[in-house]
Amino acid sequence: MQKRFLAIFLGVFFSVVGLISINVQASAESSVSTFQQTLNLMTHPYGIDQQSNPSFSWAMSDSINGSQQTAYEIQIMKGNPKTNPVIDTGWVNASLSNGVHIKKINRLSNNQLYYWQVRVKDNHGQASQFSTPQAFTTKTSWQSTNMIWALKKGTKVPADFIFARKAIDIKDPQKIQKAIVSVTGRSNTTSRQFIDSYFVNNHFVGEGPARNNQKTYYYNNYDITKYLRAGRNMLGAINYANEDQGFLSQLTIYYKDGTKKILANSGQPHSGWQVMDGTKAFGENDLMNLGTFYYKAAAENLNQKYFPVNWNKPTVKTNQRGWTTPFNDGQFLGPDQSLVSYPSENVKRHVLKPTSVIKKGNGHYLIDFGREIIGSFGLKNLRMPHASEMEIRYGEELAKGAVKYPMRTTNNYDEYWTLKSGNQTLANTDLLTYRYVEISNCPADLTKNNVEGLALRQPFDDQAASFESSDSRLNQLYGLSKYTIKATNQDLMVDSQSRERGVYEGDTLINSLASYAVESQYSMPRFSTLWGINNPTWPAEYGFFSVMNAWNDYQYTGDKSLLIQVYEQLKKGRNNLFMNQIDANGLIKNDNTTSSTMNAVLMDWPQSERDDYVFGDYDTVFNAIGYGAYSDMAKIAHVLGKTKDQEQYSSLAENVKQGMMKVLYNSKSGEFRDSENTDHASEHAQAFPLAFGIVDNSDITHKLTQVIDNRGDEFHTSIFDAYFVLKGLYEGNNSDQAVKLLNSNGLRSWGHVLNDLHATITPEAWDPSLKPNMTFSHPWGSAPITQIVSGMFGIKPLKPGFKEFQIKLQPGTVSRAAIKVPTIKGTILVAYQKTGSKLSVKVTVPANTHAIVYLPTMGSSVSYTKIELTSGNHDLSN
């Protein structure tokens, strides 16, 4: 066991050291270099609005311990990275490497290709070479924003499904520096899913756009350079919308000589775009809804008799029957509406092969992908002996050996595909959540090679984060949560892509923190936070969560752009409403306590998971969350220089804190009451004050953790509020109980989720018996990964952008563990082993950061040794 630990310990440790070495070799000038460049937090920053003061970020690496950046220089080149810079900051004496803003950047031209690069100096007198230039484009200048679409054959009614394509000629592709196509569509408000699936020369490029944010609509920018060829090329899209239909596409070619050419704007008169009514190709499906009460998404009953096979190949003839001149549907934008580049990474299709294909009978197959997929489904190179209409059912579960396709979420995942004889390759463009597929009436011999799960998600680096420990359950939970984040990031952080596809501020809190734990891709959490602030949901405390989401964004990115953008909205929102309801007790009073009307207290969901919580005028959970929000608002005000606001929010937070101790804390029992008019003390009433730091007294804190501890090794909350229970236990220094709950196998436990439900993405609830309409793809259950990182290892930013961060080890009963955590400054590595009364620790601190490490005294849960570390590799013991 010791040898195995050493191998894992050193393997994970040196993976980070290896990263540093690679970056060092990239610079022949010195030991210092830069990597992980982002512009507006994106690694593929196309469509940047130069008028909005975009932010530049990079990480620094250095082989010398204690390295800090002392200066940087940024250059921006137009059209080609080898040209002279149009902007050169010169050396700027600053340690800032996140959220860096450049003067005169608003002078850059629209619809133009640029490259930026950075170099740095460190405190050892070393200067790096310039980094590899990163390409970006500025916001698109549309030749036309007229929309096109296709009408149902023989009518003046827009079809729901259409094909659109445009042939273009490329003479010299080797002269092209970049080819960027901008694409959008409307409207996806009803379907809550993507409109266009975009293709170039039969290659899938991406899907979009994200759903509109009130009066802001989004377009995607795709780099299609590698898909173009000399001669004829074909651009195209399969589009779906069930109301207010419209499609818009424009290609800009940037040449190596610095010139550019705008091609193929679909809204231009006589543009040469063709469209085809896809109604018959996708089936008469108005009555077949894959959606739910919350949205409508038509089943795709593919019929190959009418499906234009190879419709996007560059060699296809453009005079085929069924293709017509587009219907011009007018201007894309209405009054006061704007069209903005999507501010996060584009989604891609990722092909997954099944783990098993079982023949159940003549023409009857059951397919298992081993993990839940969010995306679409395809058949490839399937040799059909004759034509057949096959029934295809998708689902998250099996029931008596068959796919449960009328899902618990009320989705009815049932489609009928009609295939012709011969070799077939066909895929839908659905946005499904499924693990299993059942196919009936398939005359072909179906194997693993013929089936593709087409997972739709943003880029994800599987190697960026890792965890391994002596506790096999924790290892499983880390893997479950990591895959959850990987699989569920599409255009927005939603509750689930099955039942609601809703953006909820509380879900965003959990999803964002889990995302921060496994990837340094911050644009998706930021976009979801902004979207949630602009589109608030009904629970009263969710407005408070928006404040926390905005503050967390700043802490993890070091970029205050979002704070500046949303500050007034946060002030005028529910914070202001509930500020006016704080009375002489210092507590927030809320009258709509149990209904689901606007500004009602959710507390926990489903309602059956509230642990018999007794509501009153002053609720412990609601006030604890309010305290956390007012504390964060005070910090935000301080960052933005709003001194009076800072004082006001600090005073509000302190009043709520004192009021809770006076009115809601029961000093005789050592518990918090649920509310002022009861002595009932739920698990929630103990967890939330612990999680948000209501109690300053260590003895009281210990009593509260013991109240939770004494209730056994099973949660008494939902899978959502379990996050706050774990956070409260780690904040209260009771790691033993936290690990015990994480290892529980009771009904309300992740052990039950893994072993009994066989979930591969965290579900919405612990069990269908507790929430019959639950989803199996609900990332608000991903608390284990957050609490392993920020609880067990105590890794948290203390200063924005991890300029300074904490490591506070709380191993509990786990004898050894090693973790790798990506940040905007680089990778943090911590590994420890307990041997008797000795704790041995290895830490890697990224360059340009400072770590505050707390090592526990063995045998004590409250005594720590504080150690301050500069960047580099360190061996510690206690």
CA distances from 436 to 26, 353, 606 (A): 46, 12, 27
Dist CA 389 CA 205 (whole Å): 29
Buried b vs exposed e over 536-559: b needs ≥16 C-beta within 10 Å?
A: bbebbbbbbbbbbbbbbbbbbbbb
Q: Encoding tokens for residue 235?
A: 């651009």
What does the alpha-carbon distance between residue 427 and residue 196 come to, in Å, rounded to a whole number?
14
Residue 427 sits in the same domain as residue 279 = no
Our count of domains for the chain comes to 5
| Residue 517, phi then psi, degrees to nearest 5 | -75, -25
Q: What is the pLDDT of residue 579?
A: 80
| Token digits of residue 346 | 């584009």
CA–CA distance, 841 with 448 (Å, rounded to integer)? 46
CA 321 to chain centre: 43
Compute the distance between CA of residue 489 and CA of residue 525 in angstroms, rounded to an integer. Answer: 9
pLDDT tens sequence across 334-356: 999 999 999 999 999 999 999 99
| Alpha carbon distance 680, 673 (integer Å) | 6
- Classified as helix, coil or strand, 441 is coil
The single-letter code of the amino acid at 696 is D
Distances in Å between the alpha carbon of 237 and those of 242, 264, 443?
16, 13, 31
Centre a 10 Å sphere on the Cβ of residue 223 and count the other Cβ atoms it contains. 17
Is the four-CA dihedral 532, 537, 543, 545 of positive or negative sign?
A: negative
- Could you give the CA distance from residue 531 to residue 526 in angstroms, rounded to a whole number? 9
* Coil/strand/helix, residue 551: helix
Nearest to 392 by CA among 369, 371, 362, 412: 412
Residue 5 pLDDT grade (very low, low, confident, very high; cuts 50, 70, 90): very low
Chain segment 369-420, per-residue pLDDT in tens: 999 999 999 999 999 999 999 999 999 999 999 999 999 999 999 999 999 9
The C-alpha atoms of residue 801 and residue 40 are separated, in whole angstroms, by 14
Helix H or strand E encompassing 873: strand 872-877
- Section 829-848 average pLDDT: 96
Q: Are residues 272 and 282 in the same domain?
A: yes
- Written as one string, the DSSP assignment of 591-614 is S--SSSSTTB---SSSGGGSTT--
* pLDDT the model gives residue 576: 78
Tokens of 703: 């009593």
d(CA 110, CA 341): 12
Bigger pLDDT: 804 or 17?
A: 804
Rounded CA separation 4/8 (Å)? 6
Q: How far apart are CA 271 and CA 265, in angstroms?
A: 7
597 half-sphere exposure, CB direction, 13 A CA radius: 6
CA distance to 8, 811, 816, 870, per residue, from 832 (Å): 11, 9, 6, 19
pLDDT at 429: 96
pLDDT score recorded for residue 592: 66
Percent of the chain residues topping a pLDDT of 70: 95
The rounded distance, in Å, linking the Cα atoms of 93 and 369 is 53
CA distance 108 to 76: 10
Using alpha carbons only, what angle is made at residue 821 by residues 820 and 824, rounded to the nearest 5 degrees?
Answer: 140
Amino acid in position 157: V
834 phi and psi angles, rounded to 5 deg: -95, 125
Look at the alpha carbons of 147, 153, 155, 159 in this order and tell me if their dihedral is positive or negative: negative
478 and 615: one domain?
yes
pTM of the full predicted structure?
Answer: 0.95
CA 645 – CA 635 distance, rounded (Å): 10
Query: Does the pLDDT value for residue 19 go beyond 60?
Result: no
Determine how β-strand 816-823 pairs with β-strand 398-399.
unpaired
What separation in angstroms does the CA of 529 have from each of 400, 523, 532, 544, 552? 41, 10, 5, 12, 10
Helix, strand, coil % (nearest 5) of the chain?
25, 30, 40
Check pLDDT > 50 for residue 15.
Answer: no
Instruction: Residue 58: give its domain's CATH number.
Output: 2.60.40.10
What lies within 8 Å, CB to CB, of 526 at 6+ separation is 41, 343, 344, 553, 557, 562
Could you tell me which of 467, 486, 469 has the C-alpha nearest to residue 478?
467
For position 117, what pLDDT does the model report?
98
Does residue 8 have a pLDDT over 90?
A: no
447 and 559 co-located in one domain: no
Task: Report d(CA 237, CA 207) in Å as an integer.
Answer: 9
- Separation in Å, CA 616 to CA 544, 595, 609, 623, 665: 19, 13, 18, 12, 14
Same domain membership, residue 804 and residue 783: no
Only one residue has tokens 């011999």, namely: 445
Query: Which pLDDT belongs to residue 594?
Result: 65
pLDDT value, residue 63: 87
Cα–Cα distances in angstroms (integers) from residue 410 to residues 289, 636, 771, in the given order: 10, 42, 13
Does one domain contain both 223 and 85? no
pLDDT of residue 582: 86
Look at residue 284 in the predicted model and tell me its pLDDT.
75
pLDDT of residue 285: 64
Give, as one character, the DSSP assignment of residue 170.
E
For strands 850-856 and 804-808, give the pairing.
parallel
- Judge contact between 615 and 607, C-beta under 8 A: no
- Give the pLDDT score at 237: 98
Beta bridge partners of 675: 619
Task: Find the domain containing 399 and state its range.
Answer: 349-457
Residues 312, 317, 319, 321: what is their CA dihedral angle, to the nearest 10 degrees? -60
Q: How confident is the model at residue 319 (pLDDT cuts 50, 70, 90)?
A: confident
* Residue 852: Cβ within 10 Å count: 16
| Residue 16 scores a pLDDT above 90 | no
Look at residue 790 and tell me whether its pLDDT is greater than 50: yes
Residue 274 confidence (pLDDT) above 80? yes
CATH number, residue 156: 2.60.120.260
pLDDT tens digits for 180-226? 999 999 999 999 999 999 999 999 999 999 999 999 999 999 999 99
Which phi-psi region, left, alpha or beta, contains residue 456 (left: φ > 0; alpha: ψ -120 to 50)? beta
Whether 788 and 798 map to the same domain: the answer is: no
The pair of three-digit structure tokens given for residue 658, joined into one six-digit string: 């004192």
pLDDT of residue 286: 63
Residue 738: CA atoms inside 13 Å, Cβ hemisphere, count? 31
Structure tokens at 202: 């039969």
Q: What is the pLDDT of residue 320?
A: 86
Structure tokens at 776: 């199996």
Residue bearing tokens 């290896």 = 18
pLDDT tens profile 486-540: 999 999 999 999 999 999 999 999 999 999 999 999 999 999 999 999 999 999 9
Q: Are 814 and 739 in contact (CB under 8 A)?
A: yes
Please write the tens of the pLDDT for every residue from 220-266.
Answer: 999 999 999 999 999 999 999 999 999 999 999 999 999 999 999 99
Q: Which of 137, 160, 184 is the last residue of a domain?
A: 137
Tally of CA atoms within 13 A in the half-sphere of 464 that contains its CB:
20
Tokens, residue 73? 């220089």
- Say which residues have a Cβ less than 8 Å from residue 128's Cβ, sequence separation at least 6: 27, 29, 30, 32, 33, 34, 60, 119, 120, 121
Helices (H), 558-697: 561-572, 574-579, 620-639, 643-659, 683-691
pLDDT per position as a tens digit, 27-64 = 334 689 988 999 999 999 999 999 999 999 999 999 89
Could you report the per-residue pLDDT of 585-598, keeping only the tens digit for each? 999 988 766 677 78
The CATH number linked to 487 is: 1.50.10.10
What is the distance between the alpha carbons of residues 569 and 557, in angstroms, rounded to a whole number? Answer: 21
Mean pLDDT for the chain overall: 94
Task: Among 758, 773, 792, identify where a domain stops.
Answer: 792
Question: 630 and 704 share a domain?
Answer: yes
Measured in whole angstroms, how far is the alpha carbon of residue 113 from the centre of its chain? 27
Tell me the pLDDT tens digit for each residue of 296-313.
999 999 999 999 989 999
Q: Are 816 and 469 in contact (CB under 8 A)?
A: yes
Q: Which of 284, 314, 344 is the endpoint of a domain?
A: 344
Strand bridging mode 134-137 / 826-835? unpaired
Question: What pLDDT is attached to residue 597?
Answer: 79
Say whether both 781 and 802 belong to one domain.
Answer: no
How high is the pLDDT of residue 329?
A: 80
**419 plus 355 within the same structural domain:** yes
- 3-state secondary structure (DSSP) of residue 137: strand
Number of H helices, E strands in the chain: 16, 39
Residues 413-436 have pLDDT tens digits of: 999 999 999 999 999 999 999 999
For residues 477 and 453, membership in a common domain is answered with no
User: How far is the C-alpha of 842 from the C-alpha of 833, rounded, in Å?
Assistant: 9
Q: What is the pLDDT of residue 24?
A: 28
Question: Both 96 and 168 in a single domain?
Answer: no
